[in-house]
Structure 1
Amino acid sequence: MELNILLKNNKKTLILDVRTSGEYSTFNIPKSKNIPVHELKSKLNTLDLYKNSTIVVYCASGARSNSAAKILSRNGFNSVYNLKGGISSYISKKK
């Protein structure tokens, strides 16, 4: 599913950037929340409001976000998607 369509149809979608804060500050998807993947397990409680919402996870290329998506799914988050190709793909599609 295309990210833009998902966002238009579901206002409760969380866009979760799991890159480092430095990477996030360089460029990010508007309205995304940044929790680096290495901090995700310790910060899961901050995402409890999104347990039944759609969560789209992204990183630079898709590897870290794939790990993060698995962590979320194993911890009771029901609708988790990994942004295919990461931020690189998102940027190229915006052009």
Structure 2
Amino acid sequence: MVRDLDPREAIQLIRDGGGDPELLILDVRTPQEHERIRIEGSANLDLRSPAFLAEVSVLDRRKAYLVYCLVGVRSRAAAEAMARLGFGEVFNLAGGIREWQRLGLPTVGR
């Protein structure tokens, strides 16, 4: 099951985890988008890459994942695919990094 989180809920999840390795942040935008601006500590797996499902399928299904993209559409599709693959705890960042930025939450990049 996928749960949508708004950016405030997501930052709280990240902060409550205190860097817990059980929560992984996954950016499903293109590598170019990821390089420009991203949530610190996020890994990049491009949803539009032909290798996406193969790359996702080797991830640890026991961990929790916060998935994001620009506005939440690609991340929702990716999160649903992950849920179908048996990932138990998947969160979608509603509004994506655009809403995250609008709220002034921290990012890194060029």
Mapped partners of 1:24, 1:75: distance in 2: 24
Structure with a larger share of its residues in helix: 1
Unmatched 5+ stretches in structure 2? 106-110
Mapped partners of 2:36, 2:58: distance in 1: 24
Q: In structure 2, which of residues 36, 46, 49 is the aligned counterpart of residue 36 of structure 1?
A: 46
Mapped partners of 2:77, 2:56: distance in 1: 14
Which residue pairs with 1:77 in the alignment? Answer: 87
User: How many correspondences in the alignment?
Assistant: 93
C-alpha displacement of 1:3: 1.4
Corresponding position: 1:52 with 2:62:
yes
Superposed CA RMSD? 1.4
**2:40 counterpart SS class:** coil
Q: Which has the higher contact order (CA 8 A, sep 6+)?
A: 2
Unmatched 5+ stretches in structure 1? none
Which residue pairs with 1:9 in the alignment? Answer: 16
Which residue pairs with 2:71 in the alignment? Answer: 61
Mapped partners of 2:57, 2:89: distance in 1: 17
Q: Deviation above 2 Å: which 4+ runs of structure 1?
A: none
